[in-house]
Structure 1
Amino acid sequence: MYKGTLIALGGGYDDDLIKLIRSEICPVHANIEVIATAATEPQESGLAYKEAFEELGCNKVQFMLIDENHAADQAEYISRIQQADVIFFTGGDQVRLTEFLNGTQLLEIMRRRYHEEPIIIAGTSAGAAIMSDRMIYDGYGHYSLIKGEMKTTIGFGFVSHLYIDTHFVERGRFGRLAHAVAHDPAYVGVGLSEETGIIIKEGNKIEVFGTGVVTIIDASKIRFTNTRQVSENQPIAVEHLIMHMLVEGYRYCLEEHLFQPVEQHLPSPAQEASDATASLV
């Protein structure tokens, strides 16, 4: 069981994501590290998110510039990641994140801490797509159901056997997520609509936040697929994919392949009596 928490948003308006992170960590003095490597203008994006956290009262927010000219494995960055309570990845191009962080000591420390400590690792758009051990980085519209058009590569590996796709409904990405899990049935596909996200607890329980829908595509019970036999540039066939649609208040358990409502934490009788007494005072 992993001790860390992953928070992933499907893109779009992200003020609610920042507020959620703030509510999860609680102390205003928590160490927050922003990594904007995926962004077209990393410095501007990093500083903008730093200011957004500071506007909510967080007073220990820093930004790491990691790109072609700034290596990840700087002594200062390693020291800061070892002390971070929250690591936040911005949106942009997820291939840039893997290019500059995969294989680094910095990423290895993040993985270890996520497995062993109650750290929060969060991201939006590209910063969400890189969280698992593999990620989708290509495939558009109906072309994504043609062999060779959908492409995957290595992600950051905080969790495994999961594909996270973002801007899912808005950019018509059902085909490429279905193709990915049909090709790798041990993986579960998670499609995040914009302004909608997931919280992954214990590396297993996926809970929804936001106003939209999270799509789950489960290939664990497929009866047939031709994805490995069919030639390049030919359409794929799949039998018996299972799909779920989650909204806030519901969860999906990866290990059990189980859809269920999130338990409502009702007050105990003693608490209800205490609250009733307080209301009479």
Structure 2
Amino acid sequence: MEPVKGKLIALGGGDDDGLIKLIRSEICAVTSHIEVIATAASTPEESGMAYKEAFEEMGCHSVHFMHIDETNPADKPEYLQRIAKADVIFFTGGDQVRLAKFLNGTALLDSMHRRYRTDDIIIAGTSAGAAIMSDRMIYNGYGHYSLIKGEMKTTEGCSFIKNIFIDTHFAERGRFGRLAHAVAHDPAYIGIGLSEETGIIIKEGDQVEVFGPGVVTVIDGGGIKFSNIPLVADNEPIAVENLKMHLLVHGYRYCLREHLFQSLAQEVSKSVVNG
């Protein structure tokens, strides 16, 4: 994972007023250029305009809706020009497979990737808009069936970051099993489960910090000693030894490269002492 200048902000779904306020505080200037992409939504124009109005109510003066779907291609010259000067790109919730379908392979997404690596830009999203941020995303697996081989499925995401799974509505929809299965299947990946109204800020492509009132679940497969996944047939239950889990709340972070759980208060104390 190479250090990057941009930030990823991902919310687990539910009420997203806190996310909009956080973005507003993070970007500071009311003149910042915000692009809303609502392709995942079942009614994208309605959803896009609703978020545009929500940002404007927070005092943001330059908010635009980018309509991308079957009849509106991503690589319009106008859209490429707007992404080139955006300070925030915001993805709404809905169907993450649909969202990735219309962005992957486009010059628009390539431009977003470059901006994320080299500029102080925010890539933000809620629900489906959070799930697409990594190179792989989970799109199937429900209840106890999620721990049956073949029931949990992943597909290509939008690759702002690699080797993590971001799952949303995590506690509310009982998605522990499918995230654990995904990490057990691909132990190089770290699973991050976001409860509703709770999310993460990923800084430098590495430091995962929590915001909101709930809990973020981190599942780390780096210490797995045994898994039967390669051995059993589809429709058989999986067995995994030494799958590690962490629970994070506001004030804590997880460093992806070091596989390290940290208290932000301890880091502040160290810096004061050393300073």
Alignment TM class, shorter chain as reference: over 0.9
What are the residue-to-residue correspondences of 1:146-165 with 2, within 5 Å?
Answer: 146-165=148-167
Give the letter for the 1:218 counterpart: D
Q: Secondary structure at the match of 2:171?
A: coil
Instruction: Give the deviation of 1:229 after TM superposition.
Output: 2.0
Structure 2 equivalent of residue 69 of structure 1: 71
Instruction: Report Cα offsets for 1:192-226 as digits up to 9, x if no partner.
Output: 00000000000000000000000000000000001
What are the residue-to-residue correspondences of 1:62-141 with 2, within 5 Å?
Answer: 62-141=64-143
Structure 1 equivalent of residue 56 of structure 2: 54
Q: Secondary structure at the match of 1:168?
A: coil
Aligned partners of 1:230, 1:46: CA distance in 2, in Å?
A: 45
Structure 2 equivalent of residue 259 of structure 1: 261
Specify which of 128, 142, 145 is matched with residue 144 of structure 2.
Answer: 142
Specify which of 178, 182, 185 is matched with residue 184 of structure 2.
Answer: 182
Rg larger in 1 or in 2?
A: 1
Instruction: Give the deviation of 1:230 after TM superposition.
Output: 1.1
Q: Secondary structure at the match of 1:131?
A: coil
Instruction: Report Cα offsets for 1:15-39 as digits up to 9, x if no partner.
Output: 0100000000000000000000000
State the number of aligned residues. 269
Instruction: Report Cα offsets for 1:144-184 as digits up to 9, x if no partner.
Output: 00011000001011010000000000000000000000010
Structure 2 equivalent of residue 274 of structure 1: none
Aligned partners of 1:131, 1:240: CA distance in 2, in Å?
A: 27
Structure 1 equivalent of residue 215 of structure 2: 213
Structure 1 equivalent of residue 28 of structure 2: 26
Give the letter for the 2:107 counterpart: Q
Q: Secondary structure at the match of 1:167?
A: coil
Tell me the C-alpha RMSD between the 2 structures.
Answer: 1.3
Give the letter for the 1:133 counterpart: D
Q: Secondary structure at the match of 1:217?
A: strand
Unaligned runs of 5+ in 1: 269-281
Structure 2 equivalent of residue 43 of structure 1: 45
- Is 1:168 the counterpart of 2:170? The answer is yes
Aligned partners of 2:176, 2:263: CA distance in 1, in Å?
A: 24
Give the letter for the 2:34 counterpart: I
Structure 2 equivalent of residue 248 of structure 1: 250
Q: Secondary structure at the match of 1:6?
A: strand
Aligned partners of 1:183, 1:111: CA distance in 2, in Å?
A: 27
Structure 1 equivalent of residue 197 of structure 2: 195
Aligned partners of 1:123, 1:79: CA distance in 2, in Å?
A: 21
Aligned partners of 2:22, 2:230: CA distance in 1, in Å?
A: 41
